[in-house]
Amino acid sequence: MTASDKKEDGIKELGEVEDAQAFMRSLNVFVVPLFSGSGLRIKILEAMALGIPVVATSMAAEAIEAKNGQEIILADRAEDFADAILRLAGNPPLAEQIRRQARQLVERHYAADTLAIRLDKFLNNFNA
């Protein structure tokens, strides 16, 4: 399946992409304007692991151990999203800093071996 090329008001609708990870790697910023539900949290972590700066709502990033302005940029209003995206686009050192710190956060807290150690500790404490 290939992405469609529908354009309207400066927005390009891609539809389904063949390789989600390759598509994500092509992004400069991963934007998550989520105001209900929680299905994109894993995608936020995936973007962070790939070194893509993330701009998301507080709700979208809930339970992710990222600090606003350090590993992620939080925005809960349309104006704040636009400002954050423009700030990242106009400030490559800031984008690089968030990219690097987000990747380190994922490695520290969400990598498979880290999660296995945390689960082992939890189970050992639970069985004690």
Please check whether residue 1 lies inside any domain of the structure.
no
**Mean pLDDT across the chain:** 83
Looking at the domain assignment, is residue 92 inside a domain?
A: yes
CATH number at residue 44: 3.40.50.2000
Higher per-residue confidence, 75 vs 123: 75
Q: Residues 39-44: what's their mean pLDDT?
A: 79
> pTM, whole model, 2 decimals?
0.76
pLDDT tens digits, residue range 67-113?
999 999 999 999 999 999 999 999 999 999 999 999 999 988 887 67
To the nearest 10°, report the CA torsion of 69, 71, 74, 80: 60
pLDDT at 1: 38
The answer to whether the beta carbons of residues 66 and 105 sit under 8 Å apart is: yes
Domain assignment present for residue 104? The answer is: yes
Rg, the chain, Cα only: 17
Amino acid at 49: A
- Distance separating alpha carbons of residues 27 and 65, to the nearest angstrom: 22
Contacting residues for 102 by C-beta, under 8 A, at least 6 apart: 47, 48, 51, 53, 54, 66, 71, 72
pLDDT class of 3 with cuts at 50, 70, 90 = very low
The domain in which residue 100 lies consists of 6-127
Average of pLDDT values for 25-47?
A: 81
Cα separation, 13 vs 114, in Å, equals 37
Cβ(31)–Cβ(81) under 8 Å? yes
Encoded tokens for 127: 């069985």
Per the model's pLDDT, the better-predicted residue between 98 and 125 turns out to be 98
Number of domains in the chain: 1
